Structure 1
């Protein structure tokens, strides 16, 4: 199992970032490079939760999104072709006195089969830079989306 910790500071407010995280409409891939539009399927959505399948490059996962806590978005993997167990993502937002927002993201990857264990091990070592770059791209894309 790999646990990857990522951090960024953004000009977006927590509400703006959550709005980006929970926008499951067309063009999601412009905010999240690892979420190709052809994989996107919304199974259920309410005011503070969603059940969504997304992925790219032959890897998909079904996630249960929960943003009922205004300072946190929790995404738990409920099904996937390679992830299982404790897999998921947690984003925590902290408002700064200067008006910016600190974002702490934790990505947990627990492979449920051979491919998942290999990909998870790679993400936990050499692949962390790839995830960090994707995270930075998402932060910038959400800032641009909000005109910041």
Structure 2
């Protein structure tokens, strides 16, 4: 099992980030590069949770999103072609006194087959670099979408 920690400070508010994170409409790939529209299937969407299949490049997972606490979003993998066990994502959004928002993301990858275990091992070695760039692009896309793309964000890798 591999755990990757990502951190970035953004001009987007927690509400704006949550709105991007839970926008399951067409064009999701513009915010999340690893979520191609051709893979996207919303099985259920409620006021504080959703059941969504997404992925790209031959890797997919079905996730249960829970944002009943809008500052702590938990995405649990319920099915995947690679990931099982404790796999998922957790986003913690903390509003700072400066008006900026700290975004802490934890990605857990527990391979359920040989390919998944091998990819989890690679992510264990290079996960911050591999997932860090898409994470940065997501933050920038949400800032732009929210009208706050000031470029004043910072990243602390591996936090």
With the shorter chain as reference, the TM-score category is: over 0.9
Aligned to 1:118: 118
Aligned length: 148
Give runs of ≥4 in structure 1 deviating > 3 Å: none
Deviation at 1:128, TM superposition (A): 2.4
Which runs of no fewer than 5 residues in structure 1 stay unpaired? none
Deviation at 1:71, TM superposition (A): 1.0
Aligned to 1:99: 99
Aligned to 1:14: 14
Structure 2 length normalisation: TM-score? Answer: 0.92
Question: Distance between the aligned counterparts of 1:29 and 1:115, measured in 2?
Answer: 24
Deviation at 1:126, TM superposition (A): 1.9
Question: Distance between the aligned counterparts of 1:118 and 1:128, measured in 2?
Answer: 16
Deviation at 1:114, TM superposition (A): 0.1
Aligned to 1:42: 42
Q: Note the alpha carbon deviations across 1:68-107, whole angstroms, 9 max, x for none.
A: 0021110000000010000000000111010000010000
Aligned to 1:27: 27
Question: Distance between the aligned counterparts of 2:115 and 2:130, measured in 1?
Answer: 18
Structure 1 length normalisation: TM-score? Answer: 0.99
Aligned to 2:82: 82
Q: Given that residues 85 and 110 in structure 2 are in contact (C-alpha distance below 8 angstroms), is that contact kept between their aligned partners in structure 1?
A: yes
1:68 aligns with 2:39: no
Q: CA RMSD in A?
A: 0.6
Aligned to 2:129: 129
Corresponding residue SS for 1:29:
helix
Deviation at 1:130, TM superposition (A): 1.5
